[in-house]
Structure 1
Amino acid sequence: MSCFQVYTGREAGQEQGLAHRVVKDLVEPFHHTGMRVYMGNFCTGVPLLRDLEVCGMVRSNRKFLPADLLPKKVQLQKHEYKTAQAGHLTFSVWLDTSRHS
């Protein structure tokens, strides 16, 4: 099992991007083991969540998010949340106290 990768340049046929490929390769040993992978929002996007069936945070400016949860369309009160579903994925957006002005 490889716990690191040396970047040697762009790979032919790389469709999803470098971060997508690296994360997918690193979690491959855990696929179909019953373990759950949780990820932060640095390299997480909707295609990666779909491919890996993991749980993670996604930045609000990522492509393929449900339109009704994008920041320009959501007006939330303090401690309020909304959810939306896209295929097998469920998305949530919330307003915690640190963002309330």
Structure 2
Amino acid sequence: MDKLNFYRQIVKEVVTQYSKLRPSHGNIRLDTIFDESQDRYALMQTGWDRGKRVRGNLIYLILSGEKVIIEYDGIESGITQDLIAQGIAEEDIILAFVSPQENKIIA
């Protein structure tokens, strides 16, 4: 399997694992969004909590070239270490939400 397809499989597996978690309160649904044609992968939350509407991204990743770009990571512990543990090379992960000067992954 080539590197891009390998990374694509890992990203989908990690996002799917997070979609199986349930929030500790509220009536919130977690939906995976996988667009392989553009290599965009997301985990969305929608629902209600304490009388207020909840909606938005929890995770948003892009595959570009042979890099995994984390555009948004709203997971408390972060997903970077999960991606690395599954086989994505640390040097192939870019944290887009961190300035380029600070973009170093802390293991």
TM-score normalised to structure 1 length: 0.28
Instruction: Determine which structure has the larger strand proportion and give its number.
Output: 2
Q: Which has the larger radius of gyration?
A: 1
TM-score normalised to structure 2 length: 0.27
